[in-house]
Structure 1
Amino acid sequence: MVQVEKKQEKIDYDMEEKIDYVFKVVVIGDSAVGKTQILSRFSKNEFCFDSKSTIGVEFQTRTVTINGKVIKAQIWDTAGQERYRAVTSAYYRGALGAMLVYDITKRQSFDHVAKWVEELRAHADTSIVIMLVGNKGDLVDLRMVPTEDAVEFAEDQGLFFSETSALTGENVESAFIKLLEEINSVISKKALECGNGYYDATKLKGSNVDVILGAELEISEMKKLSSCSC
């Protein structure tokens, strides 16, 4: 048993050593649309039936290979409540992608999507890649947001779109992978524009520990801000 665990640890370590890029992705949207569940499904392939609302900010990671590059997705999750809006600047800092989630059974959560896009465009990098996601696709009988409405909005705003179910896992993997692929495409173009095939903003600096500690410091900063905004 110990030998198996050590072997897995070695595989994980080898993967970390080969990381080419770290992509920061933020998950946003109204409260209770399933942001944390989608993230949990992608990062751990888990669904928690007694999940509680996210308090402040958390992040999880997953390493994938895209077009021959080993990419560590550092995915940030925050509460959707207004009282956490004070964390905005720090939350979006360095984000290359965003997954904007609404609940297909709650029309209001979709009506607020435009406001979230506006916030992204105001605080995030202009080249950020946005994936609009209609979650809870398994609740077809309770649908309040027609797919056509979301497709039209996504096309109008230049967003990518997918409908998912964190409960069943349907399309969660493909939505995240598509988002990471598009981020990688943007980064590749920027590297070519630099003329040397190197884009400093997303190249992994230092060890993975440095990256994680940096994220934890930012999270600590944001929690302080959110506690002051209650």
Structure 2
Amino acid sequence: MEPARAAFRDECARLERVLHGLDEAALDRPTPCPPWLVRDLLAHVGTGAGRLAGMLAEPAPPRAEVDAAGYFGAAKFSPPVDRERIDGARRAARELPDVTEVAREFGRAWRATDTAVADAPVGRVVRTRHGDAMAVGEFLRTRVVEVAVHGLDLADALDRSPWTTPAAAAVVVDVLTGGRPVPARLGWDALTVLRKATGRLPVTDAERTALAEAGIRRLAFGG
């Protein structure tokens, strides 16, 4: 679990530094995740970053049933669930009136998770909001995916170069590929893997074939 925790902590800290440098106008920029504005996407990321703290306060399921890749499945994100995810982020965003509050709340959320994880016993299992029983380390890897991939969305919205940490990129690539090596003939760096495998960049027929042959599939995102 420690590599995932370190990647989560470093990626969140980097995003928090970005937030402290934003002006108010930045919050109302559109994002690559319509209909969300930057403020809505940040509310979504903050909720996701803090989710594990609450999960660890609940009773532990007897055993883990789903890993990080299995958590991301299109079947879980039906239209009603997706609508609640979208609307929930927008409601949460309205409770954070300015960029100072956005940065403060995000910092509080991810640190609460980091503290809760540090206090969790080895082998602790949690129940996700979708009903999955997952080992803490596996769920923490999904949080790295969320913060890193949506970090790319935020960088695009803010017209900035990606700030993804190498550690977070490595965790996400491992989740996306199931630990399989990315075919060398694709010539992709880590950020290209993140964008291509999550639908942020188009995939050609030849690339799709290479991914399928390597056992790499796209994931569905709902946080």
User: Fold conserved (TM > 0.5)?
Assistant: no
Structure with the higher fraction of residues in helix conformation = 2
Q: Structure 2 length as normaliser, TM-score?
A: 0.29
Q: Structure 1 length as normaliser, TM-score?
A: 0.28
Q: Which has the larger radius of gyration?
A: 1
Structure with the higher fraction of residues in strand conformation = 1
Greater relative CO (CA pairs within 8 A, separation 6+): 2
